[in-house]
């Protein structure tokens, strides 16, 4: 599974999910260009040095971003207060591109765990 598979996953989504996922993926890769794109758990995931770092997923009425770390989620609870959160991910609107500032905080915190 590769970048082509991630692109296929995103392209298979209807609008506005497709545009939002493309924009969020672009931001993720701007923040950390070395991330490897794969499909795992039936959704786009980004690996760092062979380990799963962050992921995206599309659902019927929302999208999710996962730093795959309860510690990162807890440390950034204030930044995530407006979102529906779970132990290691949060939901965002199908037409809501996450800010580069928020993604940068979460991605850098997650990569610091490796």
User: What digits encode the pLDDT tens for the residues 10-33?
Assistant: 999 999 999 999 999 999 999 999
Whose CA is closest to 24, among 90, 103, 112? 103
Q: Cα separation of 48 and 8, whole Å? A: 21
Give the pLDDT confidence score for residue 37 in this predicted structure: 98
On whether the pTM is more than 0.85, the answer is: yes
Whose CA is closest to 22, among 33, 8, 35? 8
Query: Is the pLDDT score of 34 beyond 60?
Result: yes
- The percentage of the chain sitting over the pLDDT mark of 90, rounded to a whole number, equals 98
Across the beta sheet with 84-85, what order do the strands follow? 36-40, 43-48, 51-58, 63-66, 90-92, 84-85
DSSP 3-state of 6: helix
Give the DSSP letter of residue 58.
E
Q: Cα separation of 89 and 86, whole Å? A: 5
């Amino acid at each position: 599974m590769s970048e082509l598979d991630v692109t296929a996953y995103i392209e298979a989504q209807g609008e506005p999910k497709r545009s939002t996922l493309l924009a969020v993926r672009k931001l993720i890769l701007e923040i950390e260009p070395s991330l490897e794109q794969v499909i795992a758990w039936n959704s786009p995931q980004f690996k760092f040095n062979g380990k799963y770092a962050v992921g995206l997923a599309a659902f019927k009425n929302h999208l999710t971003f996962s730093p795959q770390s309860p510690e990162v989620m807890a440390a950034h609870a204030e930044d995530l207060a407006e979102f529906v959160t779970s132990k290691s991910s949060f939901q965002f609107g199908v037409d809501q591109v996450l800010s580069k500032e928020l993604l940068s905080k979460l991605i850098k915190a997650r990569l610091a765990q490796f």
